Structure 1
Amino acid sequence: MTPLFSVPFGQRFQTLPPAFYRPVAPTPLADPYLVAINASLSAELGIDPDSLRQPSAVAALSGSAVPPMFRPVAALYAGHQFGGYSSQLGDGRALLLGDSVALDGRVMEWQLKGAGLTPFSRMGDGRAVLRSSIREYLCSEAMHGLGIPTTRALAIMGANEPVYRETVETAAVVTRLAESFVRFGNFEVFYHRGQHDAVRQLADYVIRHHYPECAEADNPYAAMFAQVVERTASLMADWQSVGFCHGVMNTDNMSILGLTLDYGPFGFIDGFDLAHVCNHSDYAGRYAYNQQPQVAFWNLHCLASSLLPLVSEERLLEVLNGYAARYETAYLTRLRAKLGLAESQPGDAGLIEDLLRIMHAQRVDFTLLFRRLAGFDQAGQEPVRDLFVEREAFDDWAERYRARLLLESRPAAERAAAMKRVNPKYVLRNHLAELAIRCAQDDGDFSEIERLRQCLERPFDEQPHFEAYAALPPDWAGDICVSCSS
Structure 2
Amino acid sequence: MQEEAQLANQAFDTGLPWHNRFAGLGPAFYTRLQPVAVREPYWVARSQSMARELGLEEDWWRTQEALEAFSGNRPLAGSQPLASVYSGHQFGVWAGQLGDGRAVLLGEVTPPQGPSLELQFKGSGMTPYSRMGDGRAVLRSSIREFLCSEAMHALRIPTTRALCVTGSDQPVRRETIETAAVVTRAAPSFIRFGHFEHFSHTGQHEELKKLTGYVIDNFYPACRDAANPPAALLAEVTSRTASLMAAWQAIGFCHGVMNTDNMSILGLTIDYGPFQFMDGFDPNHISNHSDTSGRYAYKQQPQVAYWNLFALAQALLPLIGEPDDAMAALEPYKALFPAELDRRMAAKLGFAQASDGTRALTADILALMAGERTDYPIFWRRWAEHLAGASADTLRDLFVDRAAADRWLQRFQEHSAQGGPQPEAGLALENNPSVVLRNHLAEQAIALANQKDFSMVEQLLAVLENPFKDHPEHAAWAGFPPDWASSIQISCSS
- Normalised to the residue count of structure 2, the TM-score between the two structures is 0.95
Task: Give the corresponding residue for 2:168.
Answer: 159
The partner residue of 2:472 within 446, 458, 464 is 464
Name the structure 1 match of 2:339: 329
**Residues in 2 aligned to 1:363 and 1:48: alpha-carbon distance in whole angstroms:** 46
Are the counterparts in 2 of residues 4 and 51 from structure 1 also a CA contact under 8 Å?
A: no
Is 1:483 the equivalent of 2:482? no
Task: Specify whether residues 356 and 89 from structure 1 end up closer, same or farther in structure 2 by C-alpha distance, changes over 3 A only.
Answer: same
2:101, 2:133 within 8 Å by CA — same for their partners in 1?
yes
Q: Determine the C-alpha separation between the residues in 2 that align with 1:10 and 1:407.
A: 58
Matches within 5 A, 1:114-153: 114-153=123-162
- Post-superposition Cα deviations, 1:23-76, rounded to whole Å, max 9, x if no partner, equal 112111011111111111101111014222311111111111223422110010
**CA–CA distance in 2 between the matches of 1:48 and 1:382?**
49
* Identical positions, percent: 52
Shift of residue 221 of structure 1?
1.2
Say if 1:408 and 1:94 are closer, same or farther in 2 by CA, change over 3 A: farther
Q: Separation in 2 of the partners of 1:192 and 1:178?
A: 26
Q: CA RMSD in A?
A: 1.3
- For residues 234-245 of structure 1, the aligned pairs below 5 Å read 234-245=243-254
Q: Residue 389 of structure 1 corresponds to which residue in structure 2?
A: 400
Instruction: Report matched runs for 1:92-131 at 5 Å.
Output: 92-131=101-140
Q: Deviations over 1:340-368 (max 9, x none)?
A: 12344324323211211110110101011
CA contact (8 A) 2:41 2:167 kept: yes
The DSSP-based 3-state class of the residue aligned with 1:341 is coil
Question: 1:466 Cα shift?
Answer: 2.7
Q: Does 1:78 align with 2:87?
A: yes
Q: Give me the whole-angstrom Cα distance separating, in 1, the residues matched to 2:102 and 2:425.
A: 45
Q: Which amino acid aligns with 2:300?
A: Q
Give the C-alpha shift of residue 408 in structure 1.
5.8
Amino acid at match of 1:380: S
Equivalent position of 1:446 in the other structure: 454
Is the contact between residue 384 and residue 425 of structure 2 (CA under 8 Å) also seen in structure 1? yes
Alignment check: 8 A CA contact 2:16 2:111 kept: no
Q: Partner amino acid for 1:56? A: E
Please give the TM-score of this superposition, normalised by the length of structure 1: 0.97
In the alignment, is the contact (CA less than 8 A) between 1:9 and 1:69 conserved in 2?
Answer: yes
Q: Which residue of 1 aligns with 2:437?
A: 428
Query: 1:366 maps to what in 2?
Result: 376
Residue 397 of structure 1 and its aligned partner are, at CA, apart by: 1.5
Q: After TM superposition, give the deviation of residue 409 of structure 1 in Å.
A: 5.0
Structure 1 residues 242-279: Cα deviation after superposition (integer angstroms, max 9, x where no partner): 00000000000000000000001000000110100000
Aligned residue pairs: how many?
481
Residues 1:172 and 2:173 aligned together: no
Q: Which residue number corresponds to residue 32 of structure 1? A: 41
For residue 169 of structure 1, give the secondary structure of its aligned residue in structure 2: strand
1:282 to 291, 297, 321: 291
* Distance in structure 2 (CA, Å) of the matches to 1:319 and 1:376: 42
Amino acid aligned to 1:6: G
Asked if the contact 1:343/1:408 (under 8 Å) is kept, the reply is no
Equivalent AA in structure 2 for residue 252 of structure 1: D
Equivalent position of 1:405 in the other structure: 416
Native 8 Å contact 2:346 2:358 kept in 1: yes
In the other structure, the counterpart of 1:87 is 96
1:370-390 deviations in whole A, cap 9, x for unaligned? 111123353231111111122
By how many angstroms is 1:8 displaced?
1.2
Deviates most, 416-425 or 252-261: 416-425
| Cα distance, 1:4–1:268 mapped onto 2, change above 3 Å | farther
Cα 1:68–1:379 shift into 2, 3 Å: closer
Q: Displacement, 1:398?
A: 1.6
User: In the alignment, is the contact (CA less than 8 A) between 1:70 and 1:97 conserved in 2?
Assistant: yes
Q: Structure 2 regions of 5+ residues with no counterpart? A: 1-11
Distance in 2, Cα, partners of 1:339 & 1:145? 20
- Equivalents in 2 of 1:172, 1:310: separation in Å? 40
Q: Give the conservation status (yes or no) of the 8 Å contact 1:422–1:460.
A: yes
Contact map agreement 1:34 1:156 (CA 8 A) in 2: yes
**1:481 maps to amino acid:** Q
Amino acid at match of 2:474: F
Contact 1:74–1:96 (CA under 8 A) maintained in structure 2: yes
Contact in 2 for aligned 1:78/1:186 (Cα 8 Å): yes
8 Å CA contact 2:126, 2:134 repeated in 1: yes
Residue 51 (1) aligns with residue 60 (2)? yes
The answer on 1:200 being equivalent to 2:209 is: yes
Q: Report the Cα distance in structure 1 between the residues aligned to 2:431 and 2:353, rounded to whole angstroms.
A: 16
Q: Do the aligned residues in 2 keep the contact of 1:4 with 1:48 (CA within 8 Å)? A: no
2:330 to 305, 320, 330: 320
| Structure 1: unaligned runs, 5 residues or longer | none
Secondary structure at 1:52 match in 2: coil
Checking the alignment, whether the CA contact within 8 Å between 1:439 and 1:446 is kept in structure 2 is: yes
| Structure 1 residue 4, shift from structure 2 partner | 5.1
Partner of 1:339: 349
Deviations 1:305-346 (A, max 9, x none): 001111121111011111110001100000011111234432
Farther-moved stretch of structure 1 (399-408 vs 455-464): 399-408
After superposition, the Cα gap between the structure-2 partners of 1:69 and 1:342, relative to the gap in structure 1 and judged at 3 Å, is closer
CA distance in 2, matches of 1:376, 1:48: 42
Match of 2:4 in 1: none
| Letter aligned with residue 78 of structure 1 | S
Moved more, 396-405 or 27-36: 396-405
Aligned to 2:9: none
How far apart, in 2, do the equivalents of 1:333 and 1:299 lie? Answer: 24
